[in-house]
Structure formats: C-alpha cells, structure tokens
Amino acid sequence: MFNHLLSLLIWLPIVGAVPVLLAGSARPMLARWLALLITIATFVISLWLLRYDPEGSVMQLQETHVWIATWGVHFTLAVDGISVALILMTTFVGILVIAGAWKVIQNRPHQYMACMLLLEGLLIGVFCATDALVFYAFFEAVLIPMYILIGMWGGPRRVYATLKLFIYTFTGSVFMLIALLYLYQKAHTFDLATLAALPLTMKEQAWLFFGFLIAFAIKVPMVPVHTWLPDAHVEAPTGGSVWLAAVMLKIGTYGMVRFMLPITPDAGAHFAWIVIVLSLVAIVYIGYVALVQEDMKKLVAYSSVAHMGFVTLGIFMAFMLVRESGNTEMASLGMQGAMVQMISHGFVSGAMFTCIGVMYDRTHTRQIRDYGGVINMMPWFGLFYVLFAMANCGLPGTSGFVGEFMVILASFSASPWIALFAAFTLIIGAGYTLWLVKRVLWGPVTTEHVRHMTPMTARETWVLIGFAVAVLVIGVWPQPLIHLMDSSVAHLVQQLAVHKI
C-alpha cells in the first residue's frame, strides 16, 4: 500500500465520494458517517507522510504511471517538505469541515458530502503532481466541486458568485495552459524537473513568467484580481468558505513555487518588484477595505487577501535577496516564512469562517450590526473567537505571528521601507479584527438575534478545538514544521541563483 501512498491519498476520497452519493437523500446519516470515516481514514493514512526525511533527497515517495503515452505524459507524483505540510493540513481540515456540516446541511446532504470528498482528493492531487499537465488537470478540476458547492448550497446571489469565480479563475488558467504548451513544444515533456532545467532566453522567460503570474495571482488572489473572492465567500456555505480560505487559495502560491521559481528565475528576479508592490498594496490597502466591511464573511475574506500578501511578499523577496545581494540566508528565511504563513493562514482563516458559521446557524445573519454581547450567551464560543482573532492579528504565541515575523525580518535585510509597510499590517489587522470582536462579542445583548442564541454543541466545540490546537501548536512550537520544509526551501533558493541566460 505504501508504495502507492500518494495515489491512495488522492483516490480514496474521490472514489469514496461514490458510495456517499449512492447513499441518497433517503439515508442522510449513512452519507454523513461514510464521509466522516473516509476523511478520518485519509488523515490517518496521510500521517505516514511524516516519514519524509528532511535530510534526504528533496522529492520523495515518487510514483510514475503512464497516462498519455503518445504525448509522453506520465501520472507522476512525489512530495517534498512543503507538499507534506500542505497535504497534512488538507486532510486535517477535511475532517473538521465534514464534522462542521453534520447538522447544518439538510438539503441533499449526500451530494454535499460527496462534493467535499471530491474536493479534498483533487486538492491533494495538486500538491503531489510533478508533471505539469497532471498539475494543470487537478488545478482546474478543483473548480468543479467548488462551483457546485456554492451554486447549490450558497446564498441568494450564488449564481453571480459562481459565475464570477469560474470566469476569473478559468480565464487565468488559459494563460497558464498556453505557457505549458510552449514549454512542451520546447522540451517534448511535461515533467517539471525537465522543464526547470530547460534553457530559456530572457524574452521567453518574461512571457512565461507573466503567463504563470496571471493564473496564480487570480487563484491567490492578488490585487487587482481579487474581487471574485469576497463574493464567493459571502455566498458559499460555511464548509465551502473553509475549504476556499484554508486550502484552495494556497494552490496559487504553491504554483508560484513549483513553476515560476525554477522555470523563470531570471524573469522572476527582473520583475519581482511588481509582485512585491502588489503584495504591499494587498497588505496595506486591502486592510483598510476590510476595516469598513459590515458583513463578517466579507471582512474575513478581505483579511485573507491581506494575509496572503505576506506569502507572495516572502516568495518574491527571496528573488530580490538572492539576485541583488546574494544573501541566501535571509532569502531562505523569507521563503520559509511564506510557507509557514500559508499553513498558518489555512488554520486561522478556516477557524474564523467556522466561527462565523456557528453564529449564522443560530441567527441567519452575517451583518455585524445584528450582533453585540454574544459572549453573554455563548461564553465558551467567545473564548475560541478571541483566540482566533488574536491569531489573525499576529499575536506572539499563535501561528499568525511566526510566518509574518519571518517575512518582515527577511524584508528588512533587503529594504527597511518594505519591512515598514509589511509590518504596518499588524496595526491594520489588529484594527479591523479587534473592532469586529468588540462589536460582535462584547457589551450588553441588544438584539433579538443574539438573545435567542444557544450554547455551542459538543460537535461544534470539538471542531473549534481542532483548529485551536493547530493554531497554538504552530505558534508555540513551530520548529517541527520549519524543519520539515528546510531542505525544500534551501533547494528552491538554490534554483533562484541559477542564471539561464
């Protein structure tokens, strides 16, 4: 079994979606239990990835299967430390998402659970693929279950949100496909390692760089192609929002690491300033946009854009540090911080959307003005909500601090001004997050919505405990996560130093 561990992790939830779907609407509890057992099994099997040796070769657990022999396309899978961390986060979040939707989804729960399993398997496939065409297939396929989730179980404007999501992301992917076809024409293979070693002129790299950038920037999303995200979050069911924020956004930055860094290092170094500027705009300007939101989901959605700006900043600061000063130590620190921030944001944003879902299930409103004094009715919920809000602010001791601090420190070695703008998000983030907490949790109960709120159920409590453990463990003891990704980050930084022209 463990010779095909990665294939098992991908196909177990995808194939498992079939019996869940066949359970039908007449047996909703069977569908729920099947989905939960499959996600638990997937998580338990994924723990075997911890045997990954950070001191060994970068890509491990490799699998190769012939897919399209005529084109020389192989279904090749492998993982490095970054992939392992993202897969473990995905399988853990999968359990929490299924448990969180246990009683909430009453309309066609078997179809909902099947979509969740399908999405989980496809996301794991993205993080395992080492063939560019296989990556592209998984990268595009994740749109299908997310489109269905929002379109069938979303809010009043779900059709608008799904169309906007699909048009934005699919349009970006066309540019990526063109770039991949050009590389195939040059190398006659889609193998990522071969494409990384392909000699390319600066002009070729520039066109490929922007082709990849458009596709991945939309997925992150980066300013100015971020406007699809708030609409998708607002209309999505809670589980869809958690998947979207916790994992789906990460495939954009993961794609940057897998394609843009090794294939277009010279163009990346030359145009890094563009991404750095856009990242700083996301960090500062989008923080102010979040500050004025009246819908809790929309506020956290804009917060996600700002926090993902730290990830793209850390990645492209590494370009600048390696090429301009040769400071590989600080480049590694910035890249490592970006990877830690990816994992941290997955848990923190997922927890924030789960908390909003817990309140929405009782009040059926996300408007901040409809709340106030929630902690009087749900004291234990208030404890979790404050913890996740502090993590969202980047409080030391929580996972939100670790990655952001590493990126700011690396940025300072390149430019104190960049570090200043990046650090400014700690102030803005504290502003919109704490103001949200003040208006929702504190004060007397002033609305009927809050007055009729009931305490958390045991199921909801365990879901939030799961998120809380992840946020605190990474915040207090980040070294295992950092060590897991050390060799992978070092290899990426070495690739940045390669001059292809």
Write out pLDDT tens, residues 197-231.
899 999 999 999 999 999 999 999 898 898 999 99
Q: Check: CB of residue 119 under 8 Å from CB of residue 145.
A: yes
Q: Are the CB atoms for 144 and 185 separated by under 8 Å? A: no
Instruction: Quote the pLDDT of residue 357.
Output: 93
- Retrieve residue 349's tokens: 């944003």
Residue 60 host element (H or E): strand 60-68
Select from 122, 123, 101, 121 the least CA-distant residue to 112: 101
- Residue 2's pLDDT is 62
Where does 155-260 show beta strands of DSSP type E?
none
pLDDT tens sequence across 416-450? 888 888 887 778 888 999 999 999 999 888 888 88
**pLDDT band at 500, cuts 50/70/90?**
low
Q: Match 């269905």 to its residue by tokens.
A: 148
pTM of the model: 0.94
Amino acid in position 92: F
Query: Which residue has 């916790």 as its token pair?
Result: 246
What is the DSSP secondary-structure string of 437-484? HHHHTSS---SHHHHT--PPPHHHHHHHHHHHHHHHHHHH--HHHHHH
**What was the pLDDT predicted at 13?**
96
Give me the domain span that covers residue 362.
Answer: 2-497
The candidate with the shortest Cα–Cα distance to 393, out of 358, 430, 446, 435, is 430
Domain count, the chain: 1
Distance, CA of 481 to CA of 346 (rounded, Å): 14
CA 437/CA 333 separation, integer angstroms: 32
Identify the pLDDT of residue 344: 94
Residue 57: the pLDDT is 67
